[in-house]
Amino acid sequence: MFAIVGLGNPGDKYRDTRHNVGYMAVDLLARNHNIDINRMKYSSLIGEGRIEGHKVILVKPQTFMNLSGEAVLAVRDFYKLENSHIIIIYDDIDIDLGRIRVRREGSAGSHNGMRSIIQLIKEQDFPRIRIGIGSAPDYMELSDYVLSRFYKSELEDINDAIKKGAYAAELIITKGVSHAMNAVNGG
């Protein structure tokens, strides 16, 4: 079994914001594979189903971004998942808008949701899919930027990146992290 966790903030106030691209990718996976994300468990909205014959749980933590680790830890412990079977999808300000990066492991960087996960799991050895949202303009505070919605001119690029992020998660499940990295990193 794999858990695919999309990071974001719950509620209409945060829907379609830059910080919620993880949610958007998980929602796309749910639509593409007819999985209903409609049960509240482990401080998350979850849905169980199959992707290419592999059992998956799609997870949207409802803890707010800075406490994402609580939800991920609860899912990992309940399902007794290996860290390599927990895929985290999240926004990254250090990657250009519309680009994605798949990594096998790594630090949290500047992302508070990832920092929470690593702090509670006490490991960094889980795959992650980083969706680039670009850096904040000089005139804008970082917190305001990540909680802002995309400009109309950015929608095509970010929607493509979300599709690539969902595809990367499918590749990790079906062919492994190395294959996903080779297929989607860099272009």
Active site residue 54: no
Q: Catalytic pick from 19, 33, 54, 111?
A: 19
Burial class (CB in 10 A: 0-12, 13-18, 19+), 39: exposed
d(CA 21, CA 84): 22
Output the CA–CA distances (angstroms, integers) from residue 126 to 11, 81, 89, 140, 180, in the order listed: 27, 11, 11, 32, 14
Structure tokens given for 85: 């079977």
Nearest Cα residue to 161 out of 130, 126, 128, 127? 130
Provide, for the chain, the percentages of residues in helix, strand and coil under a 3-state DSSP scheme, each rounded to the nearest 5: 45, 20, 35
Contact yes or no for 45/38 (Cβ under 8 A): yes
Q: Which amino acid is residue 131, in one-letter code? A: I
Nearest Cα residue to 152 out of 9, 29, 16, 25? 16
Q: Which residues are catalytic?
A: 19
